[in-house]
């Protein structure tokens, strides 16, 4: 009976992917305070996406990209509707809380060495 051991190359790819996903979660966390780094984080996701294909970090990249796009969508909607009895401020606030939840949950899942989904 032969056991399958991960190759050193595979382990290095997995670790590199986890490191990149950690970096993106860190940048997204900072972005919750300033907004601008969210764009930097999603650029890292798109440029490094092929490097993490086939690793556990691939699910985290998908999670991070979706977090960005939905955060952006609701932030834009909130910005366009702020004049409607303050509705936009509520939408932006909910979008911020949702993004914070996604960043924290994703990061904790990554630390537990589990896929994001």
Give per-residue pLDDT as tens, 37-86. Answer: 899 999 999 999 999 999 999 999 999 999 999 999 999 999 999 877 78
To the question of pTM greater than 0.95 for the whole model, the response is no
Q: How far apart are CA 82 and CA 86, in angstroms?
A: 5
Q: What is the pLDDT of residue 2?
A: 44
Instruction: Give the three-class secondary structure for 69.
Output: helix
Domain extents in the chain: 9-111
CB 116 within 8 A of CB 109: yes
Instruction: Give, in degrees to the nearest 5, the angle at Cα 48 between 105 and 37.
Output: 60
């Amino acid at each position: 009976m032969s056991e399958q051991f991960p190759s050193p190359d595979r382990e290095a790819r997995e670790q590199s992917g986890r490191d990149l996903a950690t970096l993106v979660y860190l940048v997204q966390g900072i972005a919750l305070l300033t907004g601008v780094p969210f764009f930097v984080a999603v650029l890292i996701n798109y440029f490094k996406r092929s490097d993490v294909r086939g690793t556990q970090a691939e699910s985290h990249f998908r999670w991070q990209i979706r977090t960005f796009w939905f955060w952006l969508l609701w932030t834009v909607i909130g910005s366009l509707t702020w004049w409607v009895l303050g509705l936009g401020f509520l939408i932006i606030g909910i979008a911020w809380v949702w993004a914070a939840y996604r960043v924290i949950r994703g990061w904790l899942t990554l630390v537990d060495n589990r896929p994001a989904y």
